[in-house]
Amino acid sequence: MNTAAPLRSRKAQIDRVATSLFRARGFAATSMRELATELGLEAGSLYSHIKSKEEILHRVCFGLAEEFFAAFAAATADTTAPIATQLRLAIEGHVRVLTRDSAASTVFLQEWRHLSEPARTDFLALRDRYEAAFRALVQQGIAAGELHAPDAAFVALTLLASLNWLPAWYRPDGKLTPDEIAHRLAEQLLGGLLVKD
């Protein structure tokens, strides 16, 4: 009778282990047999919990997209705050999502192209919307005279690129906490942009 809870946690466990394998070997090079072995069961048994290999990838990619949007919305909720503050909060929020689960983040950043259509197109649309939101914030900052930069698109691209490199070198047991990293990244990346009084 009490099967709902164990099933849910088993599925979550499959997602978690699969995600770490996808990061280590890539989605295409990870076999369901490898995943099953890591979980201590047979390959066929996986399919009583999931529908397909891609379903896992789909959940990881779209789940993280949702987290990024939620963090951005929270960072920019107070529209009366200075744009520089909103941008700083958005950077910190982005970093917080990236470091909360760096395996999932890496899969989100690198393995989305193994999604088949139409999921792949949908995913790219979400990513573009997110980048556009960052770009718009930078643009507002320039318009408000809080930031100086010749090209908001360039700024947004290099900003996100710098942040998205984080999962490649972040170690949870490193010297800096995620919040400290976020703070330093925000300082450094905004340092050259802020208009000095």
Partner DNA sequence: CCTACCGATCGGTAGG
| Chain contacts with DNA (rule: CB under 7 A) | 10, 30-34, 36, 40-45, 47-49, 51-54
Residues 6+ apart with CB under 8 A from 176: 184
Question: By rule CB under 8 A, what count of residues binds a second copy?
Answer: 29
Q: Which does 54 bind (CB under 5 to 8 A by kind): DNA, a second copy, none?
A: DNA
**Residue 145 interacts with a second copy (CB under 8 A)?**
no
Q: Which is nearer to DNA, 33 or 148 (CB)?
A: 33
Under a CB-based contact definition with an 8 Å cutoff, are residues 133 and 72 in contact?
Answer: yes
| CA–CA gap between residue 41 and residue 38 (Å, rounded) | 8
Q: Which is nearer to a second copy, 17 or 193 (CB)?
A: 193
Provide the b/e sequence for 43-58 (b: ≥16 CB within 10 Å).
Answer: eeebeebbeebeebbb
**Residue 44 interacts with a second copy (CB under 8 A)?**
no
In the chain, the amino acid numbered 155 is V
**Residue 110 interacts with a second copy (CB under 8 A)?**
yes
Q: Which does 174 bind (CB under 5 to 8 A by kind): DNA, a second copy, none?
A: none
**Residue 192 interacts with a second copy (CB under 8 A)?**
yes
Q: Which does 43 bind (CB under 5 to 8 A by kind): DNA, a second copy, none?
A: DNA
From the CB of 91, what's the least distance to a second copy, in Å? 12
Taking each helix axis as running N to C, give the angle between helix 53-75 and helix 4-25, from 0 to 180 degrees, rounded to the nearest 10: 90
In the region spanning residues 151 to 180, those forming contacts with a second copy, defined by CB under 8 A, are 151, 154-155, 157-158, 160-162, 164-165, 169
Cis peptide bond N-terminal to 82, omega within 30: no
- Report CA torsion sign: 182, 185, 187, 190: negative
From the CB of 58, what's the least distance to DNA, in Å? 11
| CA–CA gap between residue 18 and residue 130 (Å, rounded) | 26
Name the DSSP class of 192: T
Q: Kindly list the residues in this chain that would bind a second copy in the complex (CB under 8 A).
A: 25-29, 110, 113-114, 149-151, 154-155, 157-158, 160-162, 164-165, 169, 184-185, 187-189, 191-193
